């Protein structure tokens, strides 16, 4: 049951991280995964996405490989893990290692068309053309059993393209586009084939289609358009596409520079925060949110820095900004509620703390804070009810929680229960002087 719950949570975290990435919040996605992996370091789905983000966001294929090698140890019979690792090796031009991993993938999924196509492509990279062709034929025979048949033709077309078999490659890309008419990769691959077959009009049309269908501007497609325009002696078009390419390159350089600065700020802020150096950490987080206003995790960390340095007005502002981006965060509502509590705004504090408990009933610190608010208004019965309603097992109660439960029970004149919980607390914390004094006062 616990394993099932962990798998469900992993699926939810991975799903949310993917959403964040597609919303152009890659660093939030990475932080969310890092936090989850601290608690569940062996979650293969989370590790796989973490590897992907390292490869794409941080452009760190070496680290991505390290993560996937760990996945292969955790899930040695998972064909998806071996396929992913093999493809990473191919990207890094470590073809022999790629072949080894993809052969393992096929060993565990001999009827998976995508895995077979990946191995076929790897064979073509190491000069094993006959073996590659045989695997591609095997993959094509299984097209009816795969969810994405276009990928098989796409992979086949790419292999043929690299072997300079232009006509066959174009035919493979035709099949890929028949199955997925909006495939940017297939349009670009066919554009290259058409260019080499001297069908320049078709090459230009495919290159333009590949640009329109890709979420990120394609430099390769613009370069192809420039080449085709020059062959056709269309200087105006060549200059137009050159200007577009220059704009794309400039934006890419700016994005990389921004990404580098954000990475540096994040790597600077996180250790400072963990070491309790809240003033310099706050300065780094302030710069982070200035440069990336949608980076919600930075607002939360900034609020914590302000709270730790008694800048409560700033903490309130940071937590409110965080909650506009993450309205269902129990931690966000709890932290804002505690700030209100510090500034003696009891009504606001109660509202935020109650909202936090609605989202996550297992937050014992929040439950205790709410109980203290009720006890301060002499509503001891409600305080006791709230404390004893906690879904957490008693093993999670700390010494302070026992003290609060016993104190509220005593104030509510429920002495037998107070003595019972005091005895339990003393058994759990036999060296607690406070519990010993409280137990003596109950007698």
Backbone angles phi, psi at 155, to 5 degrees: -65, -40
Specify the pTM.
0.64
- Six-digit token pair at 428? 């759990």
Owning domain of residue 388: 361-443
CATH assignment at residue 372: 1.25.40.10
pLDDT score of 1? 33
What pLDDT score was predicted for residue 248? 87
Q: And the tokens for 195? A: 């260019």
Whether 37 maps to a domain, the answer reads no
* Beta carbons of 45 and 52 less than 8 angstroms apart: no
Residue with tokens 């700030």: 339
Q: How many CB atoms lie within 10 A of CB 389?
A: 11
Distance CA(61)–CA(56), nearest Å, equals 8
Question: Is residue 41 one of the residues assigned to a domain?
Answer: no
What is the per-residue burial (b if ≥16 Cβ within 10 Å, else e) of 15-49? eebeebbeeebbbbbbbbbeebbeeeeebbbbbbb
388 occurs within a structural domain: yes
Contact between 121 and 158 under an 8 Å Cβ cutoff? The reply is yes
DSSP state of 75: S
Structural domain total, the chain: 1
In a domain, 404, yes or no: yes
* Domain presence at residue 91: no
Write out the DSSP string of 156-210: HHHHHHHTT-HHHHHHHHHHHHHH-TT-HHHHHHHHHHHHHTT-HHHHHHHHHHH
CA distance 440 to 34: 47
- Is 443 inside a domain boundary? yes
Residue by residue, pLDDT tens for the chain (443 residues) are 333 345 565 677 777 777 666 666 777 778 788 888 888 889 999 899 899 888 887 778 899 999 999 999 999 999 999 999 999 999 999 999 999 999 999 999 999 999 999 999 999 999 898 999 999 999 999 988 888 899 999 999 999 999 999 999 999 999 999 999 999 999 999 999 999 999 999 999 999 999 998 877 889 999 999 999 999 999 999 999 999 999 988 887 877 777 778 778 888 888 898 899 999 999 999 998 998 888 888 899 999 999 999 999 999 999 999 999 888 888 999 999 999 999 999 999 999 999 999 988 888 999 999 999 999 888 888 999 999 998 888 888 999 999 999 999 988 889 989 899 999 999 999 998 998 888 888 77
Residue 177 confidence (pLDDT): 96
Q: What is the pLDDT of residue 5?
A: 43
Residue 70 in any domain: the answer is no
Burial (0-12, 13-18, 19+ Cβ within 10 Å), 176: buried
Indicate whether 251 belongs to any domain. no
């Amino acid at each position: 049951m616990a394993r099932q719950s962990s798998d469900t949570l992993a699926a939810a975290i991975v799903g949310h991280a993917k959403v964040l990435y597609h919303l152009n919040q890659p660093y939030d996605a990475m932080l969310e995964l890092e936090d989850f992996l601290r608690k569940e370091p062996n979650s293969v789905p989370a590790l796989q996405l973490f590897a992907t983000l390292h490869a794409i966001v941080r452009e760190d294929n070496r680290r991505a490989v390290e993560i996937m090698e760990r996945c292969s140890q955790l899930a040695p019979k998972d064909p998806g893990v071996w396929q992913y690792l093999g493809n990473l090796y191919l990207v890094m031009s470590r073809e022999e290692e790629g072949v080894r991993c993809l052969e393992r993938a096929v060993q565990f999924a001999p009827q998976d068309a995508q895995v077979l196509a990946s191995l076929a492509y790897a064979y073509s990279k190491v000069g094993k053309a006959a073996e590659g062709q045989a695997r591609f034929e095997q993959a094509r025979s299984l097209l009816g059993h795969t969810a994405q048949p276009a990928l098989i033709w796409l992979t086949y077309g790419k292999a043929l393209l690299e072997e300079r078999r232009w006509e066959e490659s174009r035919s493979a890309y035709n099949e890929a586009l028949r199955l997925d008419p909006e495939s940017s990769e297939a349009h670009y691959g066919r554009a290259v084939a058409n260019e080499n077959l001297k069908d320049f009009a078709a090459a230009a049309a495919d290159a333009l289609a590949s640009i329109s269908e890709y979420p990120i501007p394609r430099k390769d497609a613009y370069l192809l358009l420039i080449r085709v325009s020059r062959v056709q002696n269309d200087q105006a078009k060549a200059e137009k596409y050159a200007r577009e390419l220059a704009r794309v390159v400039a934006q890419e350089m700016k994005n990389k520079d921004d990404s580098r600065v954000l990475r540096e700020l994040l790597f600077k802020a996180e250790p400072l925060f963990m070491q309790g150096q809240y003033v310099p950490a706050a300065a780094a987080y302030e710069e982070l949110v200035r440069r990336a206003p949608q980076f919600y995790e930075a607002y939360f960390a900034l609020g914590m820095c302000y709270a730790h340095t008694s800048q409560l007005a700033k903490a309130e502002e940071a937590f409110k900004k965080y909650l506009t981006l993450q309205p269902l965060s129990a931690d966000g509502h709890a932290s804002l509620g505690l700030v209100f509590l510090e500034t003696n705004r009891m009504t606001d504090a109660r509202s935020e703390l109650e909202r936090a408990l609605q989202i996550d009933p297992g937050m014992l610190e929040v439950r205790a804070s709410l109980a203290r608010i009720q006890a301060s208004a002499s509503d001891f019965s409600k305080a006791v009810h709230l404390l004893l309603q906690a879904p957490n097992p008693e093993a999670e109660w700390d010494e302070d929680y026992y003290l609060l439960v016993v104190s509220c029970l005593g104030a509510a004149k429920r002495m037998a229960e107070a003595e019972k919980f005091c005895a339990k607390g003393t058994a759990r914390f036999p060296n607690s002087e406070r519990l010993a004094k409280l137990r003596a006062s109950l007698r």
